[in-house]
Amino acid sequence: MKARRAEIAILLAVLVILAGTPILLSAGNTQIPSEPLTSLSRKPIPGGLPWYLVAVFGDNRPEAVPWVQLPDTFYRTVNELAAINAMVNIGLGDHVGQGSKRQFLEFYRVMRESGLETQMYAMGNHDISFGRASWGNWERLIGPLYLDFDEIPGWRIGILDTEANSTLWARMVNQTFTGAGNRSIMLAFHKPIIPYVHHNLQDDHPDMAKLLLEKIRGNGHVKLVVQAHWHGWAHVRVNGTDWIISGSTGAPLYKASDCQAGVDCVSTYNYLLVILYPNGTYHYYPVKAGMGSGSITVTATSEGIIVENSKVDVHGRPTAIPVRVEFNTSLGPVYILTIVPPDSRIVFRIVETGPGYEIETNATTYYAYLYQNGEGLLLNSSNGRIILPSSVEWVKPVNPHQVLSYQEYQARQETTTTGHTTATPARTATQSTHQATTPSKTVSTRLTTAPTGTLTEKTRDGLTIVAGIVIVLVVLVGLAYSRISR
């Protein structure tokens, strides 16, 4: 009897410690930033432009869900998105493994370093594995549970939360379709409805899927639905609506055989670029991500901005990539939007021509606007040349942001904490992988430096490993004792 009691006591102790391990992993002296990503990245969208560039990504959680470090594919993808520099950037959920504070802080750091503008997020199931604490982390660090965005002329973008209960789901769906008028609608949410991939919203909440489908059929203006949750690329067109799954910028891929028949379905890392036109039409580019997907680079030099595109689509074919490049001027930023052809090199220069400046380029499809006080002044073309306002006094090309990997960031934090320096410090968020002769955007990336006298992240993780070893030893000794007692 004593041996049996000893075994039960040991088992209970192990269960208690294991249950507390995620809390230990998410604990520590981590400081919550004062502003969530959605409001921090917010930048007014100017009206009156020919077309608007939107980027979509999702499912970048790590394979081992307790990890803080995100997949390498995700860090690489964010740097590509920073080079593309879309006006709106939409995350489709499962951005962390479980929803702990430390996991969200790492995602927050990456997205803040990226400089991506107007970020909006749909919640995924992995983002809230810790229940109420995870929901709180989401609202403090990411943003609202759902929102509608009307700033792109002719469009409403509705961000919905498939992790909500049926009552809240009905409220947000009704809100999205109320007051949209004749706007075209783009919907974004995590768990997919169409196509069927054996990983769908209707599997868990058929009432929620049915409600949204009824609203879409009754509205007639839903042009594009982007979803995630299933890790891969899938597309099907139903009754004039493009239903897309753009899942996985790093999460483990699923099998293409999961998809229903007749669906364009590929098991590959990917992200999506969408051009929205004010007349309600659109064009999208499904871009392969990760190793073997080529690259898109934007480099500022003393002579201008060089854009090089070797990207492929989700089927491995060379693809065009829409990009927005930036020049600083004495009047404010000048943005140039272009569609870079497959396997090509585009150069933009703003050169002084007598009394003013004009844009020189080998691009064939592009437009430019001057951004001032939230408004965009479309720069008109004269005889095929785009001329800047005569009051511009100087022009400087701008490099895109570069995001530090998890290892680079931790190495820099260790250097900051200990006061030691290294011979080859990790590049900062404002440095390009290419050397530039002009200053680039500035962004602060120090979010969670451990104060003096507190445990650093590596120390806490080390203690967790030691604790795990101790647990195993205790269990072994206890079992051996119980057998001897018999």
**Hunting for tokens 């139903």 — which residue is that?**
238
**Positive or negative CA dihedral for 151, 195, 252, 472?**
positive
Q: According to the model, what pLDDT value does residue 23 have?
A: 41
Give the pLDDT score at 469. 61
pTM beyond cutoff 0.85? no
- What DSSP assignment string belongs to 272-294? EEEEE-TTS-EEEEEEE-STTS-
Phi, psi of 184, deg, nearest 5? -70, 150
State the Cα–Cα distance between residues 103 and 110, nearest whole angstrom.
Answer: 11
- Mean pLDDT, residues 164-188 taken together: 97
Residue 206 to residue 202: CA distance in whole angstroms:
4
Compute the distance between CA of residue 301 and CA of residue 324 in angstroms, rounded to an integer.
16
Q: In this structure, are residues 449 and 28 in contact, taking their beta carbons and an 8 Å threshold? A: no
Q: How confident is the model at residue 380 (pLDDT cuts 50, 70, 90)?
A: confident
Lowest mean pLDDT among 115-129, 392-406, 412-426: 412-426
Question: 226 to each of 91, 153, 190, 338, 413, how far by Cα in Å?
Answer: 10, 19, 8, 23, 37
Q: Which token pair is 155?
A: 């469009």
Q: pLDDT, tens digit, for every residue of 217-262? A: 999 999 999 999 999 999 999 999 999 999 999 999 999 999 999 9
Mean pLDDT value of segment 167-179: 97
Q: Tens digit of pLDDT for each residue in 101-115?
A: 999 999 999 999 999
Distances (CA, A) of 452 to 30, 421, 449, 463: 13, 18, 9, 18
Confidence of residue 449 (pLDDT cuts 50, 70, 90): very low
Q: Over 60: is that where the pLDDT of 95 sits?
A: yes
Which residue intervals of 115-205 are DSSP H helices?
A: 132-141, 166-177, 201-204
Q: Which long-range contacts (CB under 8 A, 24 or more apart) does 406-412 make?
A: 406/68, 406/69, 406/70, 406/75, 406/106, 407/69, 409/109, 409/445, 410/457, 410/458
